[in-house]
Amino acid sequence: MKRLLIALAVSSGGVAAMTPDDFAWQWSLDIGKGDVHELVLGGEIYDAITRGDARDLALFTMDGKSVSFGPLPPAPDSPWRDAPYALELGDIRREPAASSDVPTAFPSPTRLTIALRSRVPEAAVITALRVSWRHRAILPADARWRVEGRRREGAVHAEVMSHSYSLASGIGETRLVLSDFDGDALRLSVAPVPADLEIFSVLAEYESPPGLLRQYRRAALTLDTTSAHAYRFVLPPALPVSAARIALGDGGALATVALSAREQEWWRELASDTAFDVAVGDASLVRNRLAFPTTRARMWRLNVEPTIGTPIVEVGYRPDVFLIAHPGPARLVLVAGSARAQRPAIPVEPLMNELRAQFGNSWTPPPATLGTRSERTGKAALQPPPTPPPYRAWLLWSLLIAAAAGISYLALRLLREPMRE
């Protein structure tokens, strides 16, 4: 690993002309003990970056020396990390349970037990369960939920955080928050409940590392005067957008929506769908999400038809994770925003592959601590460098003029010579 660190240091030192004063903004950045740390980019950093490839984001020591610093490959999309994901339902058992608090409408109180298994392709910590059940009436007030894990002896602590029931549909949902659970199989039970209670779905909420958790930010929409039923908004060019939530405007219960990004001189449609937000009795039906491959663009357009009130758009992104290869503890300087400086390409992936081969695929470096943003060089760093004089064109024209003058001189000499008989 030391050889890889030396290689990274050599790669980062190849751009001697780049200095912290070439950038508009700066942050202090502290790393702890060890040679490898990570930085998860936040919204404030994306706002300061001016390039779509984020090459105007760099890291220096306090005395201005470049630090090995580069982005890790993005993690593949994992839909089960962004929304509750269905667990596989296994064996269901019903056993008699005694309780004096069960209403007379519920004869034969029962303990209902169901085996569950995670469907996700890799190990992940389950933080909560959303249990959907069906019955003609709400559950008894003294119904107790219990969760047991296969890998731990005894029960996992489960706390009821929310509870809802629709009398019209006869469907209820109970959300249980779990703690200290690290398995992929568990057993869920509830008692006392009516004998004919049916649990038809259990969704799991999974813990996400900071670099995999999708974050959302609201976009500022303006009316697009060049296209009917359209709005435009601007985002930081390096923001890795992969989803959008669209709340229809006042009075808009149903509409067709399409999201596009500007590429050079044309618009590329990324996703479209029929969005709706309707209420039927005590239930509400909402579909307002668009998902698409990760896209980095500055200009965006949303088409909404028919014309309704101004919608609300929140774009979702998974922050980039940058690897820092520098001996710690140390205080460094993170800089961003430049029209004339670019961070060199650092081959961080081989180092990360070797680290995970030794410590496991789920290993992540310790995080760096980011300070507050301050101005470094300011707007001056965002001004493009002056165009250099066209020395090559001047040289070419000089040669052409000299050649033309030489030819003219030879022609005059020939004209002045006497005619030979």
- What CATH number did the domain enclosing 236 receive? 2.60.120.260
pLDDT surpassing 50 at residue 10: no
Q: What is the mean pLDDT of residues 236-245?
A: 93
- pLDDT tens-digit series, residues 112-145: 999 988 877 555 678 889 999 998 888 877 788 8
Is residue 407, in this structure, part of any structural domain at all?
Answer: no
Mean pLDDT of the chain: 82
Amino acid identity for residue 13 in this structure: G
Number of domains in the chain: 3
Amino acid identity for residue 152 in this structure: R
pLDDT surpassing 50 at residue 37: yes
pTM (predicted TM-score): 0.65
pLDDT at 364 (0 to 100): 83
Is residue 415, in this structure, part of any structural domain at all?
Answer: no
Determine what percent of the chain is predicted with pLDDT higher than 90.
Answer: 35
Residues 291 and 352 in one domain: no
Domain boundary among 298, 317, 336: 317
d(CA 103, CA 142): 11
Domain boundary among 206, 227, 257: 206
Domain of residue 167, CATH code: 2.60.120
Is residue 101, in this structure, part of any structural domain at all?
Answer: yes
Element housing 353 (H / E): helix 349-359
pLDDT at 284 (0 to 100): 62
- pLDDT tens-digit series, residues 57-116: 999 999 999 999 999 876 555 555 566 788 889 889 998 876 555 554 556 788 899 998
Residues 194 and 86 in one domain: yes
Show the domain range for 44. 2-75+320-382
Is residue 405, in this structure, part of any structural domain at all?
Answer: no
Q: DSSP letter at 280?
A: E
Is residue 64, in this structure, part of any structural domain at all?
Answer: yes
d(CA 300, CA 129): 36
Residues 66 and 93 in one domain: no
Residues 247 and 344 in one domain: no
- What band does 420 get if pLDDT is binned at 50, 70 and 90? low
Residues 328 and 297 in one domain: no
More confident residue, 58 or 15: 58
Q: What is the mean pLDDT of residues 36-62?
A: 94
Residues 51 and 114 in one domain: no
Residues 55 and 90 in one domain: no
Is residue 394, in this structure, part of any structural domain at all?
Answer: no
Residues 121 and 194 in one domain: yes
Q: In 3D, which of 344, 355, 363, 361 has the Cα closest to residue 4?
A: 355
Is residue 363, in this structure, part of any structural domain at all?
Answer: yes
Residues 248 and 325 in one domain: no
Is residue 13, in this structure, part of any structural domain at all?
Answer: yes
Residues 290 and 362 in one domain: no
pLDDT surpassing 80 at residue 416: no
